[in-house]
Structure 1
Amino acid sequence: MDPLHDLTSHDLRVRHAMEYEYRRGTNPSVAAININQAYPKAVSERTCQRWWKRWQEEGVDVEDKERPGFQSKVDNEELRDLIEMNPRFSSEEIGEILGVDSSTIRRHLKAIGKKYVSSVWVPHDLTPQQKAKRVNTCKDLLSLQDSDPFIRWMVTGDEKLIYYVNDSKKSEWRSPGQRPVGRPRPDFRQQKVMLSVWWDKSGIIHWELLEVGATISAEVYCQQLTRLREKLKENRKSLVNHWGVNFHQDNAPSHTAKMTQNLLKDFGWKIIPHPPYSPDIAPSDYYLFRSMQHFLDGKKFKNREEVEVAVKEFFGLKEKNWFAEGIEKLPNKWREVIELDGDYIIN
């Protein structure tokens, strides 16, 4: 589960405990003692005093006030469009785009059935058909891997948005009602660049940064795949000439477009199936990009060239066995999906 949701749930439990003590007529100092017996170090006497004062003046309400400059209403259709456009947007990023508090965004995302898995918004509750598809695909992949260990020759890839401003997202201990320490917000609508990357057990094969503001269309993706094939011919000769390319990608629109499928068929690459809404079993999502984001946290870039330097540095820090480890996690991921009857792997 998303730690942000855990924190919010904890805060609300504490606030309801404060409401209970307030309605009983308990004074703030005694209330803090009582609440901390149930939730150690959850609330201070001063915090209780602030809430008591607020409730006396405005009436009892455990929800936060709306932040100045933020609206409370969200058009769910507009929200769906944003998620479809880029499932990697965080609730904070969406809130910045729509001018809405991120907690409001999370409530609406839950209402339309979305949850955050491996840094991607996916359906909150998979349908029985989607779960069955995940299980059956994983069973097929395990069976194939047992008879022919194809991940040895698997090439996988994906896209990631890299922001110019990457403030560190560190946990904070907060009392109920206390706002987190403010930090500058990046301009999510402009200051970012798209990274496309392909890799295998031996390391990075090819990567590209798009021009600032550019997105991936089927035509752009096919051009990238053509350059990837040239890199494979240069740096993975045995793969191309002897073993053959086992190609893995997710189900993004540019990946599944007819133009893309026709090109991959012309290449003669074997396509590894990947069920929809499954970032938890995509190596780039659960491994490469997660590590990259830790590396990027706290970094700020002035332009695309500085982003490029940082990406080169990150890839240069990784040994060959690090990439192999990420690929070799796949069979265990498939087994876990089967054990969970198709539910998401939450970690």
Structure 2
Amino acid sequence: MLRRYQISLELLLRNKNDPFLDRIVTCDEKWILYDNRKRSSQWLDRDEPPKQFPKKKLHEKKTMLTVWWNSAGILHYEFLKTGETIDADNYCRQLDKMHENLARASPAVVNRKGPILLHDNARPHVSQKTSQKLSDLGYEILPHPPYSPDLSPTDYHFFKHLDNLVKGRVFKNQTDAENAFREFIASKTPDFYRKGIHDLVKRWQKCVDSNGAYFAQLSFV
């Protein structure tokens, strides 16, 4: 928790002296289940055997989504193909695509102070190849404490709202899942993305105020 406190305090002070939130690019991966129906319990009379239901063929099926975004909107996203994994090569390829989109959408961010990447310390993110790629592209890596989804905008904001969309839905295949994701991003205004990134300040402050404690929800008077 000390590391969480130290990093949050450092970033709070830095942003106060030289605001940098709109330079942040953030990303993460998420499994999208094909079957998002909640499993319900059975009410049984005493000595009544459990009812047998046919196994849902979709129950174990899922697809991996990777999304890159900033305070202005989506920069890049991909659904992995069957058998594909997120490794350093895949991550660097996506980095290149995202960077091209960022350079077109926000040339001032790329050409002046430079973009800042906020991601976790998953192995593909911290590999030597990825580190070299980020250096070549001119990215600063924002300090981020390990195991801190409550300080990651993609976790506490983007994926939280995406979960609300897919809750209870069933996708027949990956195309269905991809269409649902496109429906999700089409429904979001620029304020959605700005709020997700700018809420970092409140979360850093709460982390400092609680001496680095973890938290799930924020409440303010």
TM-score (normalizing by structure 1): 0.57
- 1:207-286 alignment, distance < 5 Å: 207-286=77-156
Report the 3-state secondary structure (helix = DSSP H, G, I; strand = E; otherwise coil) of the residue aligned with 2:65. Answer: strand
Q: What RMSD over aligned residues (CA atoms) do the two structures have, in Å?
A: 2.2
Question: Percent identity of the aligned residues?
Answer: 36
1:162–1:192: 8 Å Cα contact kept in structure 2?
yes
Tell me the SS of whatever aligns to 1:216: coil
* Counterpart in the other structure of 1:3: none
Query: Is the alpha carbon distance of 1:339 and 1:164 closer, same or farther for their aligned partners in structure 2, counting shifts above 3 Å?
Result: same
Cα deviations across residues 204-254 of structure 1 (Å, max 9, x unaligned)? 111111103422111111111111111112222222123421111111111
1:324 alignment partner, one of 173, 176, 194: 194
Correspondence for 1:201: 71
- Mapping for residues 5-84 of structure 1, pairs under 5 Å: none
Corresponding residue of 1:88: none
Question: What residue is the counterpart of 1:345 in the other structure?
Answer: 215
Task: Using the TM superposition, give the Cα deviation of residue 169 of structure 1 relative to its aligned residue in structure 2, in angstroms.
Answer: 7.1
The one-letter amino acid of 1:297's match is K
Q: 1:197 Cα shift? A: 0.6
Distance 1:242 1:221 in 2: 25
- For 2:166, the aligned partner's letter is L
Alignment of 1:92-111 (within 5 A): none
Alpha-carbon distance in 2 for matches of 1:321, 1:217: 32
Alpha-carbon distance in 1 for matches of 2:74, 2:200: 18
Query: CA-to-partner distance for each residue in 1:22-77, whole Å, 9 max, x for gaps?
Result: xxxxxxxxxxxxxxxxxxxxxxxxxxxxxxxxxxxxxxxxxxxxxxxxxxxxxxxx
> Partner letter of residue 343 of structure 1?
A
The CA deviation string for residues 183-203 of structure 1, in whole angstroms up to 9 with x for no partner, is 965433xx1111111111111
User: Which structure 1 residue ranges, 5 or more long, are not aligned?
Assistant: 1-130
Of 19, 44, 59 in structure 2, the residue corresponding to residue 187 of structure 1 is 59
Query: 1:194–1:212: 8 Å Cα contact kept in structure 2?
Result: no
Q: Hey, what's the Cα distance between the residues in 2 that align with 1:168 and 1:325?
A: 29
Please give the residue correspondences for 1:294-309 in structure 2 after superposition, counting only pairs within 5 Å: 294-309=164-179
Tell me what 1:17 maps to: none
Q: Return the index of the structure with the highest Cα Rg.
A: 1
| CA distance in structure 1 between the partners assigned to 2:82 and 2:34 by the alignment | 11
**1:319–1:169 Cα change, 3 Å:** farther
By how many angstroms is 1:168 displaced? 4.2
Contact 1:154/1:248 (8 A) holds in 2:
yes
- Count of residues in Structure 1 that have an aligned counterpart in Structure 2: 209
Q: CA deviation at 1:255?
A: 0.7
SS in structure 2 at match of 1:149: coil
Other-structure match for 1:105: none
Tell me, in whole angstroms, the C-alpha distance in 1 between the residues paired with 2:59 and 2:139: 39
Per the alignment, do residues 140 and 169 of structure 1 end up closer, same or farther by CA in structure 2, a change over 3 Å counting? farther
Q: Is the 8 A contact 1:247 1:269 kept in 2?
A: yes
User: AA paired with 2:63?
Assistant: V
C-alpha separation in 2, matches of 1:300 and 1:243:
44
What do residues 102-149 of structure 1 show as CA deviations (whole Å, max 9, x unaligned)? Answer: xxxxxxxxxxxxxxxxxxxxxxxxxxxxx1111111111111111111
Which of these residues, 135, 146, 151, is aligned with residue 21 of structure 2?
151
The residue number in structure 2 matching 1:94 is none
With normalisation by structure 2, the TM-score equals 0.87
Q: Higher helix proportion, which one? A: 1
**Are residues 307 and 148 of structure 1, via their aligned partners in 2, closer, same or farther at CA, if it must alter by over 3 Å?**
same
Residue type at the aligned position of 1:226: D
Write the letter of the residue equivalent to 2:91.
Answer: Y
Q: Structure 2, unaligned stretches of length 5 or more?
A: none
Conserved? CA contact 1:164–1:303, under 8 Å: yes
Per chain length, whose mean CA-contact separation is higher, i.e. which structure has more relative contact order (CA < 8 Å, sep 6+)?
2
Tell me which stretches of 4 or more aligned residues in structure 1 moved more than 4 Å.
182-186
Quote how far apart the aligned CAs of 1:289 are.
0.2
Q: Matched residues in 2 for 1:184 and 1:304: separation?
A: 20
